[in-house]
Structure 1
């Protein structure tokens, strides 16, 4: 048996001063003035059963208090074992946060659209370890692999362009993601790399990072974000933010090579709907059954104790106000 709230068991220590108070009270009730009598020469009389049981109501009350504390600690049985299977893999999401991700061919812009769709993807994978790496001219880990998706989603909200040096270091972002997942013991290790440009910074070439990923058995899905042709991009001017159409240039060749090298797949997202469908397709492809395992199914065990408490409390009240009733 285990307890859901074991700290409540420390309340059992309060029974010690309670018992001490009861003993002190009994001694205080003893006669303080004694006189001689001939009782010692009288024939011995049988001691009343009430004398032997006079402490029973207090004992029952102590037991009731102790059981109440145990109920507060929520006893649970763990003897019920069940076989189960679940689905879960380790995933690192590598996301481009360069300034070009502010283009508004996706709504409200590429970065916010990518964040929203990725967050929905995370919510649909409750059994996965998921991490987050961001990159532009350099790369850093926003969140290591975790099953605490609440924390991960909160960190998603903090992502914004301009957090680090601008540029597009695809190889560096991929290499950082590889370093975060390479030691995983999961059956399936996946990186989802999203970018809207071509590699123009960083000391690691994208194909080199892909070879490293392949060495560790990591599959990489690459996503190129951007419409065909031109996209509205915000420029800061003396008159405020002005939008101008700029040519969309995505170097798809290295993204495709990364996917082919690692056994993944390359996708092109030209709008919000296609980006959402890409993540849905990845979600369907990456359903891996984890081997059967056993887990302990906990069951609350306070009901029987509650019935026992009620019975003992009722007994204590009946004894105190009937058999052991004090007459003033």
Structure 2
């Protein structure tokens, strides 16, 4: 497995783009100055030893050297030792509602942010378990395939927002269907779908999808977040989403539907509020699931690969230094550069 130890330095590659832009701007200025002196072809005849192609090759060699130097700074590494670790745990797929209604703030700081904190705390409690992440609104897709890499799980979690899905709405059935097909094929392992939503199902079919999951041996837990009284949905600048008549839209938690889905999926409904009760109840429910042997591929050692890139960098610099901007009299019989 290839990786960069310090990938943040790869942003320095934009320096190459800037230098290229400066280069072409300088060439444009140079052409304008030459045209002031006289005819372009005549000026070229006055400088018979000058070579446009040589300058061009030297410049691109320099840019390649800068790019390779940035890669060296980012510390490329290659996984040198692979081990298959066997652990006893469960498999869990988180289905996170990212529809606009999850921006409501009846749960602090918002329904979506509270959900993220809940999932992050859940991951912190995992040891030998696997976790996957599905996000949904009017559609659903796998944000993180099932894995035991908890660091990646948290990284993907932080980048979630309603902007990830352009189709708004709440299609719980689609989310459950995508999650059900995202588990591994290992037998004897407890499998759970944890669906976090405010319970506004706009598409229908959620009960049937939960029953299908139960037939596959998957327990469906529903975490309903928000107030049953309803809350406005902020859009920024102190404004809220309004309907066609100009009235503020109130998003309310549909607990009855959440309970029905959990019951159909042989799971439990848990209400999420501003306390930590939901977290404790969820941990208790997951601890009851059967733990089975899961297998994970782990890259336990990484070898530095910057040495190879340093050799390439050195070769580029040597070649660039050996190429003169004007024709070399020692090699006048060799026509590597036509211009």
Specify the alignment match of 2:226 in structure 1.
226
Q: Secondary structure at the match of 1:192?
A: strand
For residue 189 of structure 2, the aligned residue among 180, 187, 190 is 187
Q: CA deviation at 1:248?
A: 4.0
Q: Within 5 A, what are the aligned runs for 1:15-54?
A: none
Q: CA deviation at 1:105?
A: 1.2
- Give yes or no for contact 2:222–2:259 (8 Å, CA) kept in 1: yes
Deviations 1:35-86 (A, max 9, x none): xxxxxxxxxxxxxxxxxxxxxxxxxxxxxxxxxxxxxxxxxxxxxxxxxx96
For residue 173 of structure 1, the aligned residue among 172, 175, 178 is 175
Q: CA deviation at 1:149?
A: 1.1
Specify the alignment match of 1:217 in structure 2.
217
Long gaps (5+) in structure 1: 1-84, 294-328
Q: CA deviation at 1:199?
A: 1.3
**Aligned partners of 1:119, 1:186: CA distance in 2, in Å?**
26
Tell me whether 1:257 sits opposite 2:260 in the alignment: yes
Specify the alignment match of 2:164 in structure 1.
163
- Give yes or no for contact 1:93–1:133 (8 Å, CA) kept in 2: yes
TM-score by length of 1: 0.56
**Aligned partners of 2:186, 2:256: CA distance in 1, in Å?**
29
- Give yes or no for contact 1:217–1:262 (8 Å, CA) kept in 2: no
Q: CA deviation at 1:232?
A: 4.5
Which of the two has higher C-alpha Rg? 1
Change beyond 3 A, Cα 1:118–1:281: same
Change beyond 3 A, Cα 1:253–1:229: closer
**Aligned partners of 1:292, 1:220: CA distance in 2, in Å?**
20
Q: Secondary structure at the match of 1:106?
A: coil
- Give yes or no for contact 1:191–1:221 (8 Å, CA) kept in 2: yes
Specify the alignment match of 2:208 in structure 1.
208
Q: Secondary structure at the match of 1:267?
A: strand
Q: CA deviation at 1:142?
A: 0.2
Q: CA deviation at 1:292?
A: 12
Q: Secondary structure at the match of 2:112?
A: helix
Change beyond 3 A, Cα 1:186–1:120: farther
Change beyond 3 A, Cα 1:149–1:100: same
Change beyond 3 A, Cα 1:234–1:188: same
- Give yes or no for contact 1:97–1:160 (8 Å, CA) kept in 2: yes
Long gaps (5+) in structure 2: 1-85, 242-247, 296-339
Tell me whether 1:276 sits opposite 2:288 in the alignment: no
- Give yes or no for contact 1:227–1:269 (8 Å, CA) kept in 2: no
Q: CA deviation at 1:231?
A: 2.4
**Higher RCO by CA contacts (8 Å cutoff, separation 6 or greater):** 2
**Aligned partners of 1:136, 1:145: CA distance in 2, in Å?**
20
Q: CA deviation at 1:126?
A: 1.8
- Give yes or no for contact 1:89–1:186 (8 Å, CA) kept in 2: no
- Give yes or no for contact 2:199–2:258 (8 Å, CA) kept in 1: no
Change beyond 3 A, Cα 1:282–1:248: farther
Q: CA deviation at 1:268?
A: 1.6
Q: Secondary structure at the match of 2:182?
A: helix
Q: CA deviation at 1:281?
A: 3.2
Change beyond 3 A, Cα 1:258–1:135: same
Specify the alignment match of 1:297 in structure 2.
none
Specify the alignment match of 2:201 in structure 1.
199
Change beyond 3 A, Cα 1:292–1:103: closer
Specify the alignment match of 1:98 in structure 2.
99
Q: Report the RMSD for the aligned CA atoms in angstroms.
A: 3.1
Change beyond 3 A, Cα 1:99–1:121: same
Specify the alignment match of 1:145 in structure 2.
146
**Aligned partners of 1:275, 1:199: CA distance in 2, in Å?**
21
**Aligned partners of 1:128, 1:191: CA distance in 2, in Å?**
13
